[in-house]
Amino acid sequence: MITIDGRPVEPKGTLLDACRAAGATVRSFCKDDRLSAGGHCRSCLVEADGRLVAACCTPAKEGANVITDSPALAEYRRDLGELMRTESDPRGRVGAVLAEWGVTGERYRRSDRAGHRDASHPYLRLDLDACILCRRCIRACEEIQGRFVYAIEGRGVSSHLAWGAARFADSDCVSCGACVSTCPTGAIADLDRARETALPAAARAVRTTCGYCGVGCQLEVTVRDEPGGARIGHIDGADSPVNHRHLCVKGRYAHGFVRHPERLHAPLVRRGGRLVEASWDEALTLVARELNARRGAIAGLSSSRCTNEENYLFQKWLRGGLGTHDVDCCARVCHAPTAAGMRESFGTGAATNSLADIEHSDLLLLIGSNATEAHPVTGARILQAVLRGVGLVVIDPRKTELARHADIHLQLRPGTNVPLLNSLACVMVEESLVDRGFVDARTEGWSAFERHVRKFAPETMASITGVDATLVREAARRYARAARPMCMHGLGVTEHLQGSEAVMLIANLALLAGAIGREGVGVNPLRGQNNVQGAADMGCQPDLLTGYLPPDDPGVRERFERVWGRPLPTRPGRRLPAMWEAARRRELKAMVLFGEDVLQTDPDANAVRAALESLEFLVVQELFLSETAKLAHVVLPGASFLEKDGTFTNGERRVQRVRQTVSPVEGARPDWRIIRDLMTATGWSQGYQHPSEIMDEIARVAPAMFGGMSYARLEGDGLQWPVPTADHPGSPILHRDSFPRGRGALACVDYVPSPELGRGLTLVTGRLLEHYNCGTMTRRTPNLAIVSEERLEMNPADARSRGIADGEMVRVKNERGDVRVRARVTAAVEPGTLFMTFHFPATATNTLTSDVRDRMSDCPEYKVTAVEVTRVG
């Protein structure tokens, strides 16, 4: 035992831990439980066996006798505070403690260290006058985000915090706010908090789920009840297994869109060719009349931005109410190949493991994912693992941040995932690196696979992939020899002609290595939109009902018809690309689009426009008058994720609560309510009063997956499906003993080159950290001040040969489109490869992308587009 102020406690951790366990108050300015111990500030000094020691970094040893309060310690602390005051004017928590210690700041002469203020960043404010050099920001930046923005410069009283640039906005900061979340003095703060100080009001914290990407970070939203109504104050990361209090710039700061002046405040109906405001009654009646008049020729596109309950209700309406399986969602244009490929290999199309497994793995194989930008909190988690010594192999045509940290970067040519992944498997087979015990016990197809894969020797494939064969061999050895190798993949795998097949090849690697069904391994897609997993789970796809249940199974059909009290349609449904074709042929007469700006996000945008313009009636449910909404006959104003209740499902199958933080803006309604009212208006009366009732129904129609799911059980950290019964704890790891299809299937896949390859430069599209998808939300926040326009990344050799300088306007053109954009000349892409996002409507990137689609799932090939680039003027 150890004695703290005469009280015995277990000697666990540090003396500070022991003091806390004993209930003693010991301050520690430089301590943050998420970070390594600093021992910089000395505020936690205690007397241990007669010696003064920093409690935060002194191990608690058996038999120690510790005193936390004595006249000598009080004097020491006052002295320490007064010394601090000579150099700074700490506020926040530290300021309050100094006052408690009786620090006046009068005893020593104030140093002449000039306080430095910086207000160059759209969100952060730095005031070094309040800095006590506790170094928490330095450690948070390094140990949470994996950036190295801050350092201490100067010596003695001249020591000060520095960030490697004259203006903070020009530093390497990624605006994650980890430094703000740990700074104890207010030296680094953000505008959200500054506004709160200026506007004192009653505050409450609401835990909810981030509405941007599929990581599913938990937010702690401070809501201020002000005279004009509740307002969002600041947002912190909640302590959850998903994000451990960390957030990215979108989750923490990009909430300004909620009260943006361009929000829709009333339904709009088209009159005389113009969209004009109408009452809700008028709009709902009009929609019901026009849809009822076109039964049999209606399709719906649901929203991965919206909740599970809204997606469930939407497909229920389309199927049971409007009599069609013509319902799809944007999973079709991102991870449908993951679902299709993994279903072929394992029988279930979702992540096999949890995000926490990143910490249990010893080798991460990251394929086609720029995770630190597209899935920032997971990206930071991967980076932390790598900085701790976990191996990393990256397969990506771009030199991403994680590729720069990787042990091996296989920088392949766009569109060559299939030969490269086959090469990795070939090396494992050739060099006897296969877990034959696992293969024999749990897979099928070995004999054919072994013969087939030998065709893909890295030396033979190098001329196709552009990757040095020795690197491929080394990568395969590292993956196969790791004790717990884990695959993670993104849209760089799926959005290809052979997207689903590439996913099956990733599954092959895991099966060959026996890396399935245990901690730290598996095949784990990094899901794109916040609820793309949930939208697919809920049945927003034409061929599968809620819980991936087939509508042609008599038992399934009977259950849905019993619960819904309506017959299911008999005609098979159309996928999204087939819907566009049917609309252009005028077979499809009406569409309901719910939270999707397809004119910006879908490929071959001019063809999508033609389809939308061919419709007799188009309804769009949206926050803003998006490019797609401008074509609608009726626009219904929905509510954002911060304004409604429900659930989202993240990429690790975790269903988490979404809680209303503020009321919807005037005139807008939560989307589940709009759909419920549309169901009633079109003739199928619905009585749901709260989304929890919809979740209860989901549990009834898909019991194997959601039978044990309810709002009561989702409090806290949510549940990972399958959750078949009310006492089931959820499923962090799938396929422990068997696969839903019986044995795992080893797939033989030949390479089929995209028709877009070999026709000039290859454009790859993707995302930036600061913006999201088509930018509808992030462009209406100060994130726009960080990245304000599209840039085309091109290699210096390509730029030189075309006489293009960095920052110049260029023309990107092919037979489908012609856009102008500023060039960013960078070695991050290889010669022949270009990169651009589709965040900005002014640069209509998707007028360039083609109608080439994944052979199995119809997902568009966003990652390979033939274009030419010329200098403008």
Asked if 722 is part of the footprint of ligand SF4 (rule: CB under 6 A), the reply reads no
Residue 488 CB, shortest distance to ligand SF4, in Å, is 14
> Residue 28 is which amino acid?
S
> Residue 752 is which amino acid?
V
Strands (E), 679-827: 719-720, 744-745, 761-766, 791-794, 809-813, 818-825
Among 177, 186, 216, 490, binds ligand SF4 (CB under 6 A): 216
458-465 and 469-481 helices cross at what angle (nearest 10)?
120
- How is the beta sheet containing 646-649 ordered, strand by strand? 646-649, 654-658, 719-720
Residue 402 CB, shortest distance to ligand SF4, in Å, is 14
Residue 174 CB, shortest distance to ligand SF4, in Å, is 11
Q: Which stretch binds ligand SF4 (CB under 6 A): 117-125, 241-249, 626-634, 651-659?
A: 241-249
Asked if 427 is part of the footprint of ligand SF4 (rule: CB under 6 A), the reply reads no
Instruction: Return the number of the residue (375 or 735) whose C-beta is nearest ligand SF4.
Output: 375
Residue 405 CB, shortest distance to ligand SF4, in Å, is 18
> Residue 179 is which amino acid?
C
Asked if 178 is part of the footprint of ligand SF4 (rule: CB under 6 A), the reply reads no
Asked if 642 is part of the footprint of ligand SF4 (rule: CB under 6 A), the reply reads no
Asked if 675 is part of the footprint of ligand SF4 (rule: CB under 6 A), the reply reads no
Q: Which stretch binds ligand SF4 (CB under 6 A): 96-104, 205-213, 455-463, 584-592?
A: 205-213
Residue 176 CB, shortest distance to ligand SF4, in Å, is 8
Is the omega angle on the peptide bond into residue 376 within 30 degrees of 0, that is, cis?
Answer: no
Q: Closest residue to ligand SF4, Cβ-based?
A: 251
Instruction: Return the number of the residue (377 or 386) whose C-beta is nearest ligand SF4.
Output: 377
Instruction: Return the number of the residue (210 or 583) whose C-beta is nearest ligand SF4.
Output: 210
* Vertex 238 angle, CA 233 and 243, to 5°: 125
Q: Which stretch binds ligand SF4 (CB under 6 A): 125-133, 247-255, 477-485, 514-522?
A: 247-255
Instruction: Return the number of the residue (580 or 641) whose C-beta is nearest ligand SF4.
Output: 641
Residue 177 CB, shortest distance to ligand SF4, in Å, is 10
Instruction: Return the number of the residue (165 or 205) whose C-beta is nearest ligand SF4.
Output: 205
Q: Which stretch binds ligand SF4 (CB under 6 A): 93-101, 209-217, 307-315, 751-759?
A: 209-217
Size of the site for ligand SF4 (CB under 6 A): 14
Residue ranges in 781-800 that form contacts with ligand SF4 under rule CB under 6 A: none
Query: Under a CB-based contact definition with an 8 Å cutoff, are residues 96 and 130 in contact?
Result: no
Q: Which stretch binds ligand SF4 (CB under 6 A): 80-88, 370-378, 461-469, 694-702?
A: 370-378
Asked if 250 is part of the footprint of ligand SF4 (rule: CB under 6 A), the reply reads yes
Q: What's CA 803's distance to the chain center, in Å? A: 38
Asked if 177 is part of the footprint of ligand SF4 (rule: CB under 6 A), the reply reads no
Residue 623 CB, shortest distance to ligand SF4, in Å, is 17
Instruction: Return the number of the residue (315 or 650) whose C-beta is nearest ligand SF4.
Output: 650
Q: Which stretch binds ligand SF4 (CB under 6 A): 213-221, 284-292, 421-429, 691-699?
A: 213-221
Cα separation, 401 vs 372, whole angstroms? 7
Asked if 355 is part of the footprint of ligand SF4 (rule: CB under 6 A), the reply reads no
Residue 124 CB, shortest distance to ligand SF4, in Å, is 16
Asked if 230 is part of the footprint of ligand SF4 (rule: CB under 6 A), the reply reads no
> Encoding tokens for residue 485?
């190798």
Query: Under a CB-based contact definition with an 8 Å cutoff, are residues 647 and 673 in contact?
Result: no
CA 216, 368, 339, 867 torsion-angle sign: positive
Asked if 499 is part of the footprint of ligand SF4 (rule: CB under 6 A), the reply reads no
Q: Which stretch binds ligand SF4 (CB under 6 A): 74-82, 208-216, 562-570, 699-707?
A: 208-216
* Vertex 547 angle, CA 546 and 551, to 5°: 60
Residue 254 CB, shortest distance to ligand SF4, in Å, is 8
Cα separation, 133 vs 121, whole angstroms? 21
Q: Which of 247, 250, 92 is nearest to 177 (CA)?
A: 247
Residues 6+ apart with CB under 8 A from 200: none
Residue 711 CB, shortest distance to ligand SF4, in Å, is 21
Asked if 376 is part of the footprint of ligand SF4 (rule: CB under 6 A), the reply reads yes
Buried b (16+ CB within 10 A) or exposed e, 718-734: bbbbbbbeeeeebbbbb
Output the CA–CA distances (angstroms, integers) from residue 484 to 28, 349, 795, in the order listed.
Answer: 38, 21, 36
Asked if 402 is part of the footprint of ligand SF4 (rule: CB under 6 A), the reply reads no
Residue 646 CB, shortest distance to ligand SF4, in Å, is 16
Cα separation, 538 vs 546, whole angstroms? 4
| Bridge-based pairing state of the strands 791-794 and 485-489 | unpaired
Output the CA–CA distances (angstroms, integers) from residue 157 to 166, 184, 529, in the order listed.
Answer: 21, 20, 49
Asked if 775 is part of the footprint of ligand SF4 (rule: CB under 6 A), the reply reads no
Neighbour count for residue 70 (Cβ, 10 Å): 12
- Residue 684 has what DSSP assignment? -
Instruction: Return the number of the residue (177 or 551) whose C-beta is nearest ligand SF4.
Output: 177
Instruction: Return the number of the residue (213 or 619) whose C-beta is nearest ligand SF4.
Output: 213
Instruction: Return the number of the residue (377 or 476) whose C-beta is nearest ligand SF4.
Output: 377
Asked if 217 is part of the footprint of ligand SF4 (rule: CB under 6 A), the reply reads yes
671-681 and 308-316 helices cross at what angle (nearest 10)?
10
Among 247, 461, 507, 631, binds ligand SF4 (CB under 6 A): 247
Instruction: Return the number of the residue (372 or 849) whose C-beta is nearest ligand SF4.
Output: 372
Cite the DSSP H helix spans in 361-468: 371-374, 376-387, 401-405, 417-430, 436-442, 446-453, 458-465
3-class DSSP assignment, residue 754: coil
> Encoding tokens for residue 25?
């108050």
CA 275, 281, 284, 286 torsion-angle sign: negative
3-class DSSP assignment, residue 672: helix
Instruction: Return the number of the residue (123 or 212) whose C-beta is nearest ligand SF4.
Output: 212
Cα separation, 493 vs 526, whole angstroms? 11
Q: Count CA atoms within 13 Å of residue 450 on its CB side.
A: 14
Q: Which stretch binds ligand SF4 (CB under 6 A): 212-220, 332-340, 421-429, 558-566?
A: 212-220
Among 131, 173, 213, 480, binds ligand SF4 (CB under 6 A): 213
Asked if 248 is part of the footprint of ligand SF4 (rule: CB under 6 A), the reply reads yes
Residue 650 CB, shortest distance to ligand SF4, in Å, is 8
Instruction: Return the number of the residue (60 or 217) whose C-beta is nearest ligand SF4.
Output: 217
Output the CA–CA distances (angstroms, integers) from residue 76 to 70, 71, 80, 101, in the order listed.
Answer: 10, 9, 6, 10
Asked if 377 is part of the footprint of ligand SF4 (rule: CB under 6 A), the reply reads yes
> Encoding tokens for residue 334?
């991102």
Among 212, 479, 617, 721, binds ligand SF4 (CB under 6 A): 212
Q: Which of 575, 603, 422 is nearest to 498 (CA)?
A: 422
Residue 222 CB, shortest distance to ligand SF4, in Å, is 16
Asked if 210 is part of the footprint of ligand SF4 (rule: CB under 6 A), the reply reads yes
Instruction: Return the number of the residue (217 or 395) whose C-beta is nearest ligand SF4.
Output: 217
Instruction: Return the number of the residue (212 or 346) whose C-beta is nearest ligand SF4.
Output: 212
Which H or E run contains 695? helix 691-701
Residues that bind ligand SF4 (CB under 6 A): 210, 212-213, 215-217, 243, 247-248, 250-251, 375-377
